[in-house]
Amino acid sequence: MQGHTVSGVSLDPQEISLFNQAHLSNIYKNDFRLDIRDRQELSRAFAKIDPEVIIHLAAQPLVRESYKYPIETFETNVIGTLNVLEATRQLTNLKSSLIITTDKVYKNHNHLRGYVETDELGGDDPYSASKAAADIAAQSWIKSFANSPMAIARAGNVIGGGDWAIDRIVPDLVNAYSTGNLPLLRYPEAVRPWQHVLDCLNGYLSLVDLQLSAGATGEWNFGPEIQKRYSVAELVSTFATNWGVDTQPAWIRDEVSQPYEAGYLLLDSSKARSDLHWKDKLGFEETVKWTVDWYTNPEKLSIRSLCEAQINEFTRL
Ligand SMILES: NC(=O)c1ccc[n+]([C@@H]2O[C@H](COP(=O)([O-])OP(=O)(O)OC[C@H]3O[C@@H](n4cnc5c(N)ncnc54)[C@H](O)[C@@H]3O)[C@@H](O)[C@H]2O)c1
């Protein structure tokens, strides 16, 4: 929609995915389906695309899947990222690359303050540890090889339309409420930096702009304002109200013993706010409402039109 020529490198999409629902294949000049763990294939694809900007999002991004498949999670998130980093070094027209890690890279001390970019990295579950390792690898590439600006973006818990991943809060709520059930919550008291996907992506694009105009590099947090701290239960209640569920609480506590998850996770995004002049445009209530609007789609738009309508509305804010 901004007029760029876009190419993609990914595994095949899941059958039910935003990619298929919104018929996104026709926006791509090149649509490479390959595994980023295959260094040669990836290098060949990058050489064919010859990009000016790379945004590396590919990952095994699910915490609970990482307990089931820890080796594959590390392989994709660490070796895959190393392959991306190395492939960028062969590209002569590359002007910027952005490596997407996560808020979960920080060693979690259940602080009531937000983590800042200089805080220590860590990670208990395999997903967090693998993303922290990918982040450290990218930092090493930034310090060691200076062919073009490379930066790292660490975003908060992203919600919004189009997510169909298993064991994620929003798809779980959609599946439960659309079938007349109440969702099971594993950690209702856990506090997370919820943010709308368009706010997150707006931050990523602002950072790419600063890379292109002024060579910005280093690590950058993107999260909601620090005062906006909401628990899983508050997110679910707001979601349920927007969905029209009248039972309160609109969820059931899952009493089965669950893999560990941190209680408190907040991000301090002062750096992005001051240096990029970025801010989250949608407050918590709007973030949840826009998400529910996407899944309920009251105007029965095509999924592509629904996404474009929300993007257009967002850019007008
Ligand atoms: N969703 C969140 O709340 C959140 C928050 C912070 C950071 N992130 C990060 O954002 C990025 C995107 O996450 P998402 O939530 O959109 O997940 P997603 O599952 O929608 O997207 C992940 C993509 O990676 C691709 N992929 C996975 N393994 C691959 C492999 N071996 N080779 C090639 N492609 C592969 C998948 O095909 C998919 O297109 C990830 O790096 C994730 O860690 C997500």
Choice from 56, 63, 158 to test ligand 1 binding pocket (greatest atom count within 8 A of CB): 158
Ligand 1 centroid – CA 77 distance (Å)? 9
Q: pLDDT per residue over 178-216, tens digit each? A: 999 999 998 999 999 999 999 999 999 999 999 999 999
* Residue 61 Cβ contacting ligand 1 at under 6 Å: yes
Alpha carbon of 180 to those of 159, 160, 175, 177, 245: distances in Å? 22, 21, 9, 5, 9
Dihedral sign for Cα 220, 226, 228, 232, please.
Answer: positive
Among protein residues, the one with the nearest Cα to ligand 1's atom 28 is: 59
State the pLDDT at residue 166: 87
Ligand 1 centroid – CA 227 distance (Å)? 28
Please give the model's pTM, rounded to 2 decimal places.
0.96
Hey, what domains does the chain have and what are their CATH numbers?
6-316 (3.40.50.720)
The two tokens of residue 283 are: 């407050």
One DSSP character per residue, 114-155 reads PB-TTSPB--SSHHHHHHHHHHHHHHHHHHH--SS-EEEEEE
Q: pLDDT per residue over 252-306, tens digit each? A: 999 887 777 777 788 999 999 999 999 999 999 999 999 999 999 999 999 999 9
